[in-house]
A and B are shown apart, each in its own frame.
Chain A
Amino acid sequence: MDIQNLSIDTIRKSLIAKKFSALDLTKTYLARLKKIDPKIKAFITITDNLALKTATSLDQKIAAGKKIGKLAGSLMAIKDNFMTEGTRSTAGSQVLKDYIPPYSSTLYNKLLAEDSIPIGKTNTDAFTFGASTENSGFFITKNPWNLNLVPGGSSGGSAAALSANLCTFALGTDTGGSIRQPASLCSVTGIKPTYGRNSRFGITSMASSFDTPGAFAKTAADLALVSQVMAGVDCRDATSSLLPVPDYPKLLLQTKLKGLKIGLAHQYFADPINPAVKKAVQQSATVFEKQGAKLVDISLPNSRLALAVYYILVPCEISANMARFDGIRFGSSVKDTKDLLSHYLETRGKYMEDELKRRILIGTYALSAGYFDAYYMKAAKVRTLIKNEFINAYKKVDLILAPTSPTPAWPIGQKVDDPLQMYLADIYTCPVNVAGLPALALPCGFTADNLPVGFQLIGNYWTEDSLFSAGYQYQQLTDYHLSNPKL
Chain B
Amino acid sequence: MSSLDLTTLRHTALLARIKLNSTEEEKFLPQLASVLDYVEILNQVDTSGVPPSFQAVSQKLTGRLDTVVSGLSQKQALASAPDSQDGYFKVKASIKK
Chain A residues near B56 (CB-CB < 8 A): 195-196, 209-210, 387, 433-436
Min CB distance A149 to B, Å, is: 23
Contact indicator B72/A102 (Cβ below 8 Å)? yes
Give Cα distance in the complex from A157 to B72, angstroms. Answer: 31
A353-372 to B contact mask, C-beta < 8 Å, 1/0: 01001101110110010000
Evaluate whether A344 and B17 lie within 8 angstroms (CB atoms) in the complex, with A330-B80, A339-B92, A378-B43 already known.
yes
CB contacts (< 8 Å) of B20 on chain A: these are 349, 357
Instruction: Please indicate the chain A residues that have their CB under 8 angstroms from the CB of B36 in the complex.
Output: 362, 365
- A327 lies within 8 A of chain B by Cβ: yes
Contact across chains for B62 and A233 when beta carbons are under 8 A apart: yes
In the bound complex, do residue A361 and residue B39 qualify as a contact, i.e. CB atoms below 8 Å apart?
no
Q: 6 A-B pairs, CB-CB below 8 angstroms? A: A102-B76, A239-B59, A340-B92, A343-B91, A365-B8, A382-B47
Contact B94 A308 (CB under 8 A): no
Please give, as numbers and ranges, the residues of chain A lying within 8 Å of B77 by CB-CB distance. 102, 329
Q: Which residues does chain A contribute within 8 Å of B61, judged by CB atoms?
A: 238-239
Residues of chain A within 8 A (CB-CB) of B1 are: 374
The reply to whether B92 and A348 form a contact with Cβ atoms under 8 Å apart is no
User: Could you list 8 further interchain pairs (A-B, Cβ under 8 angstroms) beyond the known A343-B92, A357-B28?
Assistant: A102-B77, A235-B65, A239-B61, A365-B36, A380-B53, A384-B51, A418-B31, A436-B56
Asked if A265 CB lies within 8 Å of chain B CBs, one says no
Does A236 reach chain B (CB closer than 8 Å)? yes
Which residue of the partner chain B has the closest CB to A367?
B15
Once bound together, how far apart are the Cα atoms of A419 and B77, in whole Å? 37
Q: A242's closest neighbor in chain B, by CB?
A: B62
| A377 contact set on B, CB distance < 8 A | 52
Known: A305-B41, A333-B82, A362-B36. A381 touches B31 (CB 8 A): no
**B68 contacts partner chain A, Cβ-Cβ < 8 Å:** no
Complex interface: chain A residues within 8 A of B51 (CB): 381, 384
Pair B89/A364 contact, Cβ less than 8 Å: no
- In the complex, A237 has a CB within 8 A of chain B: yes
Q: Which residues of B from 46 to 66 have beta carbons under 8 Å from A?
A: 47, 50-57, 59-65
Residues of chain A contacted by B57 (CB below 8 angstroms): 194-196, 241, 436, 461
Q: Are B82 and A383 in touch, CB under 8 angstroms?
A: no
Residue pair A362, B32 in contact (C-beta under 8 Å)? yes
Asked if A3 is at the interface of the complex by the 8 Å CB criterion, the answer is no
Contacts A340-B93, A361-B16 given; does A235 touch B64 at CB 8 Å: yes
**Chain A residue contacts of B21, Cβ below 8 A:** 349
B17 CB, nearest partner CB in chain A, Å: 4
Contact partners of A343 in chain B: CB under 8 A: 91-92
Residues of B at under 8 Å CB distance from A? 1, 4, 8-9, 12-21, 24, 27-28, 31-32, 34-36, 38-39, 41-43, 45, 47, 50-57, 59-65, 72, 76-77, 79-83, 89, 91-94
B89 near A368 (CB under 8 angstroms)?
no
Q: Is the CB of B4 within 8 A of A365?
A: yes
Once bound together, how far apart are the Cα atoms of A345 and B12, in whole Å?
12
User: Contacts of B91 on A, CB cut-off 8 Å?
Assistant: 328, 340, 343
> Is the C-beta of A446 less than 8 angstroms from some C-beta in chain B?
no
For the complex, is A480 an interface residue (Cβ under 8 Å from B)?
A: no
* Contact assessment for B82 and A238 in the assembled complex, using a CB-CB cutoff below 8 Å: no
Contact present for B81 and A308 (CB under 8 Å): no
- Chain B hits for A309, CB < 8 A: 42
Q: Does A137 contact B (CB under 8 A)?
A: no
- How many Å lie between the Cα of A326 and that of B90 in the bound state? 12
**Cα distance, A346 to B19, chains bound together (Å):** 6
Q: Residues of A contacting B31 with CB < 8 Å? A: 358, 418-420
* In contact, B19 and A99 (Cβ under 8 angstroms): no
Known: A357-B24, A382-B42. A239 touches B62 (CB 8 A): yes
Q: A327-B82, A339-B94 are in contact. Are A308 and B55 (CB under 8 A)?
A: no
| Chain A residues with CB below 8 A from B9, complex form | 361
Give chain A residues whose Cβ lies under 8 Å from the Cβ of B16: 319, 348, 360-361, 364
Residues of B within 8 A of A333 (CB): 82-83
Cα of A436 to Cα of B72 in the assembled complex, Å: 33
CB nearest to A377 among chain B residues:
B52
Chain A, residues 219-254, CB within 8 Å of chain B (1/0): the string is: 000000000000001111111111000000000000
Residues on B with beta carbons closer than 8 Å to the beta carbon of A332:
82
B55 in complex: contacting residue of A102, A209, A379, CB < 8 Å: A209
A364–B8 CA distance with the chains assembled, in angstroms = 11
| A328 contacts B82, C-beta separation under 8 Å | yes
Looking at the assembled complex, report how far the CB atom of B60 sits from the nearest CB atom of chain A, in whole angstroms: 8
Asked if residues B34 and A308 are in contact (CB atoms below 8 Å), the reply is no
**Residues of the A chain whose Cβ atoms lie less than 8 Å from the Cβ of B13:** 361
CA distance A352 to B24 in the complex (A): 12
